[in-house]
Amino acid sequence: MTVHLPTLAAIEDAAAVVYRAFGPTPQYRWATLSERLGTECWLKHENHTPVGAFKIRGGLTYFDALARRNALPRAVISATRGNHGQSVAWAARAHGVPCTIVVPHGNSAEKNAAMRSLGAQLIEHGDEFQVAREHAIGLAADQGAHMVPSFHGDLLSGVATAWWEFLRAAPHLDVLYVPIGLGSGVCAAIAARQALGLKTRIVGVVSAHATTYADSLAAGRVVAAAVGTELADGMACRVAEADALAILAKELDDVVRVSDDEVAEAMRMLFADTHNVAEGAGAAGFAAAWQARSRLRGQVVGTTLSGGNVDSDRFARVLAGASP
């Protein structure tokens, strides 16, 4: 089934669902980031949600849509590197649905602990997300459970509420940098821009060590790419989602790549300037803006701290200046 971008009415309805769990997250024009970047810079704090990342918005609206259709399943299964899994576990618990999450071996210990604390049964399988995802799909089929996807229209409507909040608060943004994992965040940003009738340029940001979306956009078709990022686990996707790619091919203004070293430097800058913790993927948007800083003078720049769920020991090493 083709995924369509949510309308303004759908985003507003989704906001009512999200706000039953938590209120709008803040967005600030940080003077320190602006001074560093050399132009006005706004940061949306999705690290301030109850699971420390934007994904919870989509889980809430996905399960609400199931409930409205009287289609809540007896059990759900999904795959994740952490933040999507927390979203699914949170929403499943709220609706009384047993939840199993598949993660790859070597996944973030603290994200794993967070998912377990939300009631999820955790299964470790494979050495990267795509392998875990395929295993989860097989388990769901074998067990008669509902497989919660990582990309779906009912997820997009919830995720779009973050960008709707941001663009309503700062409609004068000239450019918005959005990290790309499997595509829900950047497609939702496009949806919010369209719903509000704005001209803000949206630049997608991929890891230089996980380039399936950059490669696929260049080729005009899904192209798998090896995953080698050690730091931006939320962007560690090997195979682009075809529905997301179709949206991005028409609507995305640009796509850029950031290395793990650039992401680590962005994590350090965000902490020094805002005293907020950013995980790798959560810092990728600012890393891209920093990369382009000489071309951004005079423009109003927006990005997101999309998640703050980085393991303590890893963050300590990053702050100490260690290479990923």
- pLDDT for residue 312 is more than 80: yes
Instruction: Write the single-letter amino acid at 219.
Output: A
* Joined tokens for residue 76: 């759900």
Q: How far apart, in whole angstroms, are the C-alpha atoms of residue 154 and residue 76?
A: 16
Domain spanning 8-53+153-319: CATH 3.40.718.10? no
Which residues, other chains included, contact 245 with Cβ-Cβ below 8 Å and sequence gap of 6+? 183, 213, 216, 217, 221, 222
- pLDDT for residue 311 is more than 80: yes
**Which pLDDT tens digit goes with each residue over 148-189?**
999 999 999 999 999 999 999 999 999 999 999 999 999 999
Nearest to 94 by CA among 127, 63, 50: 63
Whole-number pLDDT of residue 1: 65
**Which pLDDT tens digit goes with each residue over 33-67?**
999 999 999 999 999 999 999 999 999 999 999 99
**Which pLDDT tens digit goes with each residue over 70-96?**
999 999 999 999 999 999 999 999 999
Q: What is the mean pLDDT of residues 270-274?
A: 98
Query: In the chain, where are the structural domains located?
Result: 8-53+153-319, 56-147
**Which pLDDT tens digit goes with each residue over 23-40?**
999 999 999 999 999 999
**H or E, element range at 221:** none
Class of domain 56-147: alpha beta
Whole-number pLDDT of residue 146: 98
Which residues, other chains included, contact 31 with Cβ-Cβ below 8 Å and sequence gap of 6+? none
Whole-number pLDDT of residue 323: 74
Q: How far apart, in whole angstroms, are the C-alpha atoms of residue 165 and residue 176?
A: 13
pTM of the model: 0.96
Which residues, other chains included, contact 296 with Cβ-Cβ below 8 Å and sequence gap of 6+? 37, 38, 39, 175, 289
Asked if 30 contacts 273 with a C-beta cutoff of 8 angstroms, the reply is yes
With tokens 């080729």, the residue in question is 219
Which residues, other chains included, contact 84 with Cβ-Cβ below 8 Å and sequence gap of 6+? 55, 58, 59, 78, 150
Q: What is the mean pLDDT of the chain?
A: 97
With tokens 């039953």, the residue in question is 20
Do 8-53+153-319 and 56-147 fold alike per CATH?
yes
Whole-number pLDDT of residue 195: 98
**Which pLDDT tens digit goes with each residue over 291-309?**
999 999 999 999 999 999 9
